[in-house]
Structure 1
Amino acid sequence: MADVIDAVFDAIADAAPEVRAGLPDHRATRDDQNASGDTQLEADVWADDLLFDRTESIEGVNWYASEERDAVVTVGDAEGGYAVALDPLDGSSNVKSNNPCGTVVGVYDQPLPAPGSSLVAAGFVLYGPTTTMVVARDDTVREYLVSETGATTDLGPVELPADPTVYGFGGRVPDWPPAFESFVRDVEDDLKLRYGGAMIADVNQVLVYGGVFGYPGLESAPDGKLRAQFEALPIAYIVETAGGASSDGTQSLLDVAPTRLHERTPTFVGTDDVIAALDAALPDHTN
């Protein structure tokens, strides 16, 4: 298992400089939508194709799935092995405005769709002022600096601070359920707002400073916006491994078991106490 996971994240790190360097040439909007109904940028499809090429030949990786593809692609021996699920370019709408974006990776030990409990590793690359990669596996989270050649420098372990500092929540405020809006009004008395439109950049702020990030179920969309398989479950695995907590409003996201590849779920990750307060404020994740 270790060799397969090493190979996956080595391939992701190796591709990261190429993804970053290619963003200026792939800023245009396509006429197509992805399987989740979102408008695609050229960058979304280009990053997906690149990361598929880098991971599909890794021995032990038998399935590849991404937010940009309708279905799982079988790339190895379907009798066993691992599934790699990616959001190739999280926050791709930020490319046009030159704000941070990233790549999210989940490695599952069974075919997709799969529950959060089947994750064996998860990570993300953040294309910010520097390119960094965070990897959770074997009960630890580590951060790496990714060079222009794809080489990585270990920056050390990542542990969520006990004292929360920042918060960020998606969705239009008028579309928030009343119980969630009431919770946010309490949170904003003590924490600083940090929300940039790229999930992984906002989650990284929570990892660095402590606090909470979330995208709730909305009045118009009770399941929220984030995809369980590609976004919510991998970031929950990272945050929980770093000493934090996650929730869909009723349970840990790692207890969520999607039945559809592109299923969405309300998503909250952060400091234990804040997530506990959130769960207490939301009797269920539809109100």
Structure 2
Amino acid sequence: MTIKDPVVEDVVATISRSATEIRQGLIGRRGTIDEENPSGETQAEADVWADGLLADRIAELDGVGQYASEERTDVIDCGDDPAESDAYAIAVDPLDGSSNLKSNNTMGTIFGVYDAALPARGETLIAAGYVLYGPITTMVIATDETVAEYELSGGERAIVDSDVTLPGEPVVYGFGGRVPDWTDDFREYAREIEHELKLRYGGALIGDVNQVLTYGGTFGYPALESRPVGKLRLQFEGNPIGYVVERAGGRSSNGERSLLAVEPEDLHDRTPVHVGNAALIDRLEKALE
């Protein structure tokens, strides 16, 4: 897959080259620090380190006007304002699933390239993707043209599939949040799904979504009784993942509409996140009406 936009290619290349270093750098950084991110979550040492590494490298790229991360309160202005120029804004979750460090389970890096100043609607994304630190380090990149998967090694990326599409027959599902905290409507929907599909849930958004992208199905982190606005961040997680899944032929939703159509109010807005095969997301929205 050839990425036509040179700025997007530079961003993707920078993240892919950094991925091997990030993975290796997790060793010795499994603890937490006495600080919280803007969402009030305790930060892992690896969260802060990975964010610093990516911020330094991405902010230096020509054509990048803003860098934002869920690990820092404010946007970094890198040059031209995306609202007034051709520069892009890059939103990153440097280490998705960092709570899995303690148990040495799957993690990833999520990124979105917005053609608008942050916070921005997902409809302004021109590219998005993620790195999965699994048994093999892989990268999924979505653009307006296609979705592609790569294997990463030594800073290089090798194409695995240049046209990733969501399988038509769904196989797996994964739902986040404690079951007693689910709303009644969502619990009823989930009970139907668990009789139809196989449970795959690992506690890292990237790993769970990658299962859906590989086998078909649905992932959801719903609105909870204790957290009706949802848990995941719209700019850093919901929009990029929604963009990838929609470009692969699926659907995304906050329970009412596409994640990409949600109007953000703040850089660190949270949202319910549902992605997967269109028929399953249609059923979800009907169940939550």
- TM-score range normalised by the length of the shorter chain: over 0.9
- Counterpart residue number, 1:96: 102
What amino acid is aligned across from residue 174 of structure 1 in structure 2?
P
Question: 1:139 Cα shift?
Answer: 2.9
What is the TM-score of this pair, normalised by structure 1?
Answer: 0.97
CA drift at 1:259: 1.1
1:150 aligns with 2:158: no
The amino acid that maps onto 2:145 is D
After the TM superposition, which residues 67-216 of structure 1 pair with which residues of structure 2 at under 5 Å, given as runs?
67-78=70-81, 79-80=84-85, 81-147=87-153, 149-156=154-161, 157-216=163-222
Distance in 1 between residues matched to 2:79 and 2:106, nearest whole Å: 33
3-state DSSP class of the match of 2:160? strand
- Segments of 4+ moved more than 2 angstroms: none
Paired residue type of 1:166: V
Deviations 1:97-116 (A, max 9, x none): 11010000000001100001
| Deviation, structure 1 residue 89 | 0.1
Tell me by how many angstroms 1:181 deviates. Answer: 0.2
Distance 2:71 2:254 in 1: 23
Of 241, 247, 250, 2:253 maps to 247
Deviations 1:202-242 (A, max 9, x none): 00000000000010000010011000000001000000000
The one of 222, 226, 230 equivalent to 1:220 is 226
Shift of 1:60: 0.5
Letter in 2 for 1:42: E
Aligned to 1:33: 36
Instruction: Report the count of equivalent residues.
Output: 282
Q: Deviations over 1:131-167 (max 9, x none)?
A: 00000002310000000x1100011121100111000
Q: What is the percentage of aligned positions where both structures have the same residue?
A: 58
Is there any run of 5+ residues in structure 1 with no aligned partner, and where? none
SS of residue in 2 equivalent to 1:112: coil
1:24 pairs with 2:27: yes
Matches of 2:255 and 2:164, distance apart in 1: 25
Contiguous gaps of at least 5 residues in structure 2: none
Structure 1 Cα separation of the partners of residues 75 and 57 of structure 2: 16
CA distance in 2, matches of 1:9, 1:132: 13
